Chain A
Amino acid sequence: MNVDLSVDIGGLRLRNPFIAASGCFGYGVEYADLVDLSTLGAVAVKGLFLEEREGHPPTRIVETPSGMLNAIGLQGIGVRRFVAEKLPLLRAQGAVVIVNICGSTIDEYAEVARILDDADGVGAVEVNISCPNIKKGGMMFGCSLQGTHDVVAAVRRVTRRPVVPKLTPNVTDVASFAAAARDAGADAVSLVNTFLAMAIDVETRRPKLSNVVGGLSGPAIRPIAVRMVYECRQAVDLPIIGMGGIMTAGDALEFIIAGATAVQVGTANFVDPFIWNKLLTGLTDYVQRHGLAHVSDLVGTLDTTDRTTAWTSS
């Protein structure tokens, strides 16, 4: 039986729900020899500012129980070099490209988005208002409802592409941020970015990361991320791209059933760069086994009959 794995994210059609997560797949071109990029739902490239950035000095990552901390500091080549040097290669590979955009100011977000609007081959812009390890920009906007609204509205004004703000989990009520994003004109939201965290070398009493704090990703965060996707699904009627610790098709299905239309896979790609075929096979098997024609029929189908939630966020 043929199953339809395609999904729609605010007007952007994806062949399947699996997207390589930003910052975990370089600019995509690094993987072109290993993976047929056209078989992925989409590729979300490393976060881009207007200008090139060096990022933080090493040590930039440290492993923690079933997860990892990172404080890369958004090293990158800047949006213009990306458009000139990487985007044509991604297009030639047949990749659907989601560009993760960053800014130290609202104007910078808008300028990056405007440059991308003129470029060929950009499927959507994912607005990174959730990076936990940079001084200016990032989570600074994503932790304030007004900041979230203002950045999203500014990007919305300058682009025709689907606008997908990426939300931080480092807030008390993530659903209210999804609502703020919707009110500012977002076409979808993605979540979660990493959880602000730290690890200490007790022998030296030094932080393990040069940046002292970093973002936690990987299986350790998955149950919290699933809960947050579920909360957003209850609160807003926007497509959701869910992520956080997805290692298998079963993990991805948790997010989809909780309410995600598509999912991103980040840390797992470090462990297994050939994960994409396994995810596709697992998802196809599941959809067939459950007698469904479209994977999109599964989105938000969590059955809570006879269960009550004592605590809800909003």
Chain B
Amino acid sequence: MPLDVDAVVVSNTHLTRDYNVLALAAAAVASQTQPGQFVMVKPGGGDDPLLRRPFSVFEVLRDDARQVTGLSLLNKRVGVTTRMLFALKPGDRVRCLGPLGRPFSVTEPPERAWMVAGGVGLAPFATLAAALRERDTETTLFYGGRSANDLFHLDEFRQLGVRLELATDDGSRGEHGNVTVPLARALGDADRAAPLRVYACGPTPMMRAVTQLAAAHGRTTEVSLEQVMGCGLGGCYSCVVPVRRDGGPAHLVRSCLDGPVFDGSTVVWEQLVS
């Protein structure tokens, strides 16, 4: 059951000039959250900005006794709301409604998990990695960013036993170029008989490329789409994505209810606007 909490900001960690991690005391939301689900967030109570914004739950936070204490968001400063979220101080409050949406399916051994993230598309993968770890699923993160400074949380993923394959646009860390480069190589090298599930989140062209690459190697991809949303609850029909199922015609379905996680092979990428 989604809840709306007036969550206190516990900490706001600035990672770069544009990225921050905001920790919120929203235990009641966090304790229900499954990997890939999102929350609708609004800093401040005023009418401008008016609407909430959707955010993937980045981490489910726990205390030393493993009790859930809240959740964190990975934020990139781009618009009005994200600028406000960047500037928040501990003790400030944020309205946080969730958890919402269909989660990732968390695969189990012998299937392996390959998570592919571009930029702020890293957001849903910290909770997914934790859930995969609980199932002892062998997990790799393919992670691309603009430069070395834009790759975050690497130690935390390593501590979860995640193998890292990095790529940067400027070549300052890992592979020089797109994250699809190391992914393509790994797909080619992988034992075809060994089961493998791909997860992707990031810019639309990247998710499309990942889905197609994976399909060419007989692998399915779960993508987490980031659409503009009005309500997050199925009320407004603004977050629709074109989906084709069972070979039928494409239909616009609500990302907040049917997604944000979709089987990448059902998304009609050439019609997807984001």
Chain B's closest residue to A21 (CB) is: B235
Q: Does A75 contact B (CB under 8 A)?
A: yes
CA–CA, A31 to B4, complex, Å?
Answer: 14
> B236 near A66 (CB under 8 angstroms)?
no
> A30 near B228 (CB under 8 angstroms)?
no
> B47 near A219 (CB under 8 angstroms)?
yes
Which B residues are CB-close (under 8 A) to A70? 230, 236, 238
Which B residues are CB-close (under 8 A) to A207? none
Bin chain A's interface residue count.
Answer: 35 or more
Of B42, B47, B257, the most chain A CB neighbours within 10 A belong to B47
CA–CA, A130 to B251, complex, Å?
Answer: 26
Which B residues are CB-close (under 8 A) to A250? none
Q: Does A118 contact B (CB under 8 A)?
A: no
If the complex has contacts A54-B252, A65-B48, A271-B50, are A33 and B1 also in contact, measured as CB distance less than 8 A?
A: yes
Q: Name 11 interchain pairs, CB-CB below 8 A, sorted by A.
A: A26-B234, A55-B252, A58-B239, A59-B273, A61-B230, A72-B237, A247-B47, A269-B235, A270-B230, A270-B231, A270-B236
Q: Does A202 contact B (CB under 8 A)?
A: no
Q: Does B218 contact A (CB under 8 A)?
A: no
Q: Does B271 contact A (CB under 8 A)?
A: yes
Among A26, A68, A218, A274, contact of B235 (Cβ-Cβ < 8 Å): A26
Interface string of A248-281 (1 = CB under 8 A from B): 0000000000000000000101111110000000
Q: Does B49 contact A (CB under 8 A)?
A: yes
CA–CA, A273 to B2, complex, Å?
Answer: 10
Which B residues are CB-close (under 8 A) to A57? 252, 271, 273
Q: Does B97 contact A (CB under 8 A)?
A: yes
Which B residues are CB-close (under 8 A) to A23? 236-237
Among A25, A30, A46, A75, contact of B252 (Cβ-Cβ < 8 Å): A75
Chain A's closest residue to B80 (CB) is: A63
Which B residues are CB-close (under 8 A) to A62? 228
> B236 near A24 (CB under 8 angstroms)?
yes
> A273 near B237 (CB under 8 angstroms)?
no
Q: Does B52 contact A (CB under 8 A)?
A: yes
CA–CA, A210 to B242, complex, Å?
Answer: 15
Complex A-B, nearest 4 residue pairs according to Cβ-Cβ distance, in ascending order: A30-B234, A270-B231, A61-B238, A66-B47
CA–CA, A58 to B229, complex, Å?
Answer: 11
Q: Does A67 contact B (CB under 8 A)?
A: yes
Which B residues are CB-close (under 8 A) to A272? 4, 95
Which B residues are CB-close (under 8 A) to A63? 49-51
Q: Does B227 contact A (CB under 8 A)?
A: yes
Of A57, A63, A66, A210, the most chain B CB neighbours within 10 A belong to A63
> A31 near B240 (CB under 8 angstroms)?
no
CA–CA, A244 to B231, complex, Å?
Answer: 17
> A210 near B273 (CB under 8 angstroms)?
yes
| Residues of chain A in range 24-60 having any CB-CB distance to chain B below 8 Å | 24-26, 30-31, 33-34, 46, 54-55, 57-60
CA–CA, A26 to B51, complex, Å?
Answer: 17
In the complex, what's the smallest C-beta–C-beta distance from B203 to chain A, in angstroms?
Answer: 16
CA–CA, A61 to B274, complex, Å?
Answer: 12
CA–CA, A72 to B240, complex, Å?
Answer: 10
Q: Does B233 contact A (CB under 8 A)?
A: yes
Bin chain B's interface residue count.
Answer: 20 to 34
Among B97, B227, B230, B233, contact of A30 (Cβ-Cβ < 8 Å): B233
> A219 near B228 (CB under 8 angstroms)?
no
If the complex has contacts A66-B48, A267-B50, are A31 and B233 also in contact, measured as CB distance less than 8 A?
A: yes
CA–CA, A210 to B240, complex, Å?
Answer: 13
CA–CA, A62 to B274, complex, Å?
Answer: 13
> A24 near B50 (CB under 8 angstroms)?
no
Chain A's closest residue to B249 (CB) is: A54
Which B residues are CB-close (under 8 A) to A273? 4, 97, 231, 233, 235
Which A residues are CB-close (under 8 A) to B234? 26, 30
Of A34, A61, A65, A68, the most chain B CB neighbours within 10 A belong to A61
CA–CA, A63 to B97, complex, Å?
Answer: 19
Which B residues are CB-close (under 8 A) to A269? 231, 235
> B273 near A30 (CB under 8 angstroms)?
no
| Residues of chain B in range 187-226 having any CB-CB distance to chain A below 8 Å | none
In the complex, what's the smallest C-beta–C-beta distance from B59 to chain A, in angstroms?
Answer: 25
Which B residues are CB-close (under 8 A) to A58? 227-228, 238-241, 273-274
Which B residues are CB-close (under 8 A) to A270? 51-52, 230-231, 235-236
Which B residues are CB-close (under 8 A) to A25? 235
Which B residues are CB-close (under 8 A) to A274? 4
Which B residues are CB-close (under 8 A) to A55? 237, 240, 252
CA–CA, A57 to B250, complex, Å?
Answer: 12
Chain B's closest residue to A62 (CB) is: B228
Which B residues are CB-close (under 8 A) to A54? 251-252
CA–CA, A54 to B251, complex, Å?
Answer: 7
Which A residues are CB-close (under 8 A) to B227? 58
Which B residues are CB-close (under 8 A) to A34? 1-2, 233
CA–CA, A272 to B240, complex, Å?
Answer: 21
| Residues of chain B in range 252-274 having any CB-CB distance to chain A below 8 Å | 252, 257, 271, 273-274
Which B residues are CB-close (under 8 A) to A75? 237, 240, 252
